[in-house]
Amino acid sequence: MVTLIVALLFAASLSLLPGPSSDVPPAPVPARTYLAPHNTISIWSNGGFLASNSSTGISNGNGTLSNPYIIENWVINSNGSTFGIEIANTDEYYIIRNCHIWNGSGGVGNWNGIEINNADNGYIAGNDCYNNSNGIHLYGADNCDVVNNHCYNNTVQGIRLDQSSNDCVLTGNFVSNNNGYGFLLLNSNNCTMSNNTVSGNSYDGMCLSYSNNSILDNNSVEDNGADGINLGTWCCNNTLSNNTCMNNSVKGIDIDDIGANNTLTYNTCSGNAEDGICISFSDRNTLSNNNCSSNTMRGMSFRATDNNTISNNNCSYNDGDGMYFYDSPIGDNIISNNTCSNNSNGIIYYSSSNSTLFNNTCSGNTGWGMFLSYPTENTLDSNNCSYNGDIGLYLDHASNNTLSNNTCNSNTNYGMDIVLSSQNILTNNTCSDNDEGIDIMGSSLNILGGNNFSSNTYYGIYLQGSFNNTLFDNDCRGMTGGYGIALTSSSNNNTLDSNNCSSNGQYGIYLWISSYNAINNNTCWYNLRGVSFESSSNRNTLFNNTCSNNDCGMLLSMSTNNSIAWNRLCNNTADGILAASGADRNTFWNNTFIGNNGVGGTYNPAVTQAEDSGANNHWNSSSGFGNYWSDLTSPDSVPPSGIVDWSYNLTGFSGSMDYYPLTTPSPVPAVIPEFSVIIVPIVGLMLVALIVSRTRKRP
């Protein structure tokens, strides 16, 4: 009868025990047998297990692997005076399960619910630990399993391992609403943390420091007060996979402070207040197939981190950047096959070098697809930077980078923008359906070859204040309202060779206040003007260009001392060449004029194929060669042979004439000794040498 009364009184007392926060109810635990009250338990050695049940709470077992000691089914109120269950200084095998341990944080001290100190080989399962200091604490305890426990509302950590608590398994635990970290591992290695639910903790959901070679897999880490998962100082060779880190107050996953060789795969890091994943001062990491979308700041960020492989990640729909790299002077990162779309910017890359960005998709961002500032010796290959709200691919203060096979279409402003940059190589890129294909400002010694800059609104290639650049074999057709190639604002000493600048709404090639440029072997058909020099564009050379079927083949205005030879000017609606007012001291020779200005086969001095209203222009060379005019090819009875006996009078105010018109078009030589700038065929050799010297392996 007495036993029955005691049992009834105890059952009633259980209803008065404090429970978990009403806001976050405890997760369900497996069905339990009757829980009886017990005093706090303290076992300090192997011999301590042999004390009476009233002190140890042991129900059975002998401490062996096959028959461990079992402590189970107790309710323990620590009353703020000691640990709920403490096991220390033993190598026996033991189990603590299905216990309800609480109230260690009240009274005169802060005590842990379960304290394991230098006691290996434990199995701790199905316990409720709340209102303690740490819910469960392992200190120097190896080979312990912590399974399916519920640790909540503790004043410090939910579960903590430190001082070489190695080779432990922590799985299936519910760790929530603790005032510190959910999980904290210090100096603990080779642990496995899997299938845990970690939420509502005041600091990081899971934090590791000085901990290596651990596996964090399939954990749900949400709504914590700092990072979801944080790998702090000297965390190396850890694997994080299939974790869900969402809606945390700082970052989803944060790896910083001198870690290395960590692997992050198939994690979901979304809805966090800062970055989805952040890597700082940690090298040689592998990040693949992670989903870092819809974060308040960035999908992924990297600072002072080198030799990383970053591939197949989705970093989209973030309020900030998809990926952000900063201050990696060594670099050697491989960034490939990532999707960084619908962010503020796709990929931002500051002060970083020697990296490969390959086959990334950076589209639909409100600003830039890719922005690289102060990058050196990087390779950008086969990236898609299209449909962005500003610029597809933007290089600022960039040097010795190689950009090839990239697609930058349908951006609101520029396909590519190169600013204050030098010695970069751009080949086989496509920049179409933008306002401008590529804008180059204040930049020098860059090589653009074999690119498609067609079908933009205003410019295919636009150079502003840029010098010593080489543009060859680029497609600059179909600018509906503008220019194939434009050089402005003292863009001097550039070489334009073998570009196709046809079918543009304004000019094929346009120079404004730009001098000492070599313009050779280009095709300028079906434009308003094929080539136009204006406003002090002086001392340029035009050699072997084709300017046909335009309104005007070539226009020179307010520009002097240009050399124009061996060009073909055919079937232009108005003049083949118009030297307007201020076009002075220019030289034209060995050019071929056919069917311009509506002329037929008969010479009429009132309707000619060229007009000169400048001053002191020369329409023949000093060696006695003029130009070929299809309407005046004979007679040729007076020596020298090949020169028409009559002069060709040009319309215009200058009264100029070609004194030595040619009877047949002149063959194009390899080198023109009369040019003020001698054209030597070295561009191809330069390009090959630069590409070979900077060849980088692809991922």
Among 622, 539, 537, 547, which Cα is nearest to 580's? 537
Considering the domain architecture, whether residues 135 and 191 belong to the same structural domain is answered as: no
- Residue finishing a domain among 382, 412, 442: 412
Considering the domain architecture, whether residues 280 and 169 belong to the same structural domain is answered as: no
Considering the domain architecture, whether residues 519 and 587 belong to the same structural domain is answered as: no
pLDDT for 267-294, tens place per residue? 999 999 999 999 999 999 999 999 999 9
pLDDT for 22-55, tens place per residue? 333 334 444 456 899 999 999 999 999 999 888 8
Q: Which residues contact 514 (CB under 8 A, 6 or more apart)?
A: 463, 487, 488, 489, 490, 491, 492, 494, 537, 540
Q: Quickly state the pLDDT bin for 679 (edges 50, 70, 90).
A: very low
- Residue 9 domain-assigned? no
pLDDT for 77-108, tens place per residue? 998 888 999 999 999 999 999 999 999 876 55
Structure tokens given for 533:
């020099």
CA distances, 410 to each of 152, 369, 378, 432, 586 (Å): 53, 11, 25, 6, 40
Strands 206-209 and 568-570 come out as unpaired
Considering the domain architecture, whether residues 35 and 140 belong to the same structural domain is answered as: yes
pLDDT for 509-541, tens place per residue? 999 999 999 999 999 999 999 999 999 999 999
Report the length, in residues, of the chain. Answer: 699
Mean pLDDT of 440-465: 98
pLDDT for 169-196, tens place per residue? 999 999 999 999 999 999 999 999 999 9
Considering the domain architecture, whether residues 220 and 272 belong to the same structural domain is answered as: yes
Q: How far apart are CA 169 and CA 148, in angstroms?
A: 11
Q: Quickly state the pLDDT bin for 672 (edges 50, 70, 90).
A: low
6 pLDDT more than 70:
no
486 pLDDT more than 80:
yes
- Residue 350 domain-assigned? yes
Q: How far apart are CA 172 and CA 97, in angstroms?
A: 14
CA distances, 219 to each of 123, 194, 199, 240, 451 (Å): 20, 6, 11, 9, 47
Among 558, 517, 511, which Cα is nearest to 530's? 511
Considering the domain architecture, whether residues 511 and 569 belong to the same structural domain is answered as: no
Q: Quickly state the pLDDT bin for 263 (edges 50, 70, 90).
A: very high
Which stretches within 594-693 are classed as H helix?
683-693
685 pLDDT more than 70:
no
- Residue 258 domain-assigned? yes
Structural contact between residues 419 and 438, judged by C-beta atoms closer than 8 angstroms: no
Percent of the chain exceeding pLDDT 70 equals 91
- For residue 33, the model assigns a pLDDT of 66
pLDDT for 189-220, tens place per residue? 999 999 999 999 999 999 999 999 999 999 99
- Residue 515 domain-assigned? yes
Structural domain tally of the chain?
5
Which stretches within 79-195 are classed as H helix?
none
419 pLDDT more than 60:
yes
Among 558, 551, 587, which Cα is nearest to 672's? 587
Question: Residue 86 is part of which domain span?
Answer: 30-177
12 pLDDT more than 50:
no
Does the N-terminal peptide bond of residue 665 adopt cis geometry, omega within 30 degrees of 0? no
Considering the domain architecture, whether residues 664 and 684 belong to the same structural domain is answered as: no
pTM: 0.89
- Residue 551 domain-assigned? no
- Residue 147 domain-assigned? yes
Considering the domain architecture, whether residues 434 and 327 belong to the same structural domain is answered as: no
Instruction: Please name the amino acid found at residue 439.
Output: D
- Residue 312 domain-assigned? yes
Helix, coil or strand: residue 5: helix
- Residue 19 domain-assigned? no
Percent of the chain exceeding pLDDT 90 equals 86
Considering the domain architecture, whether residues 397 and 426 belong to the same structural domain is answered as: no
Considering the domain architecture, whether residues 259 and 110 belong to the same structural domain is answered as: no
Considering the domain architecture, whether residues 455 and 384 belong to the same structural domain is answered as: no
Mean pLDDT, the chain, whole residue set:
91
- Residue finishing a domain among 149, 177, 205: 177
CA dihedral over 383, 384, 386, 388, signed as positive or negative: negative
Helix, coil or strand: residue 71: strand
For residue 61, the number of C-alpha atoms closer than 13 Å in the C-beta half-sphere is 22
393 pLDDT more than 60:
yes
Considering the domain architecture, whether residues 91 and 140 belong to the same structural domain is answered as: yes
- Residue finishing a domain among 412, 446, 470: 412
Among 547, 576, 600, 571, which Cα is nearest to 658's? 576
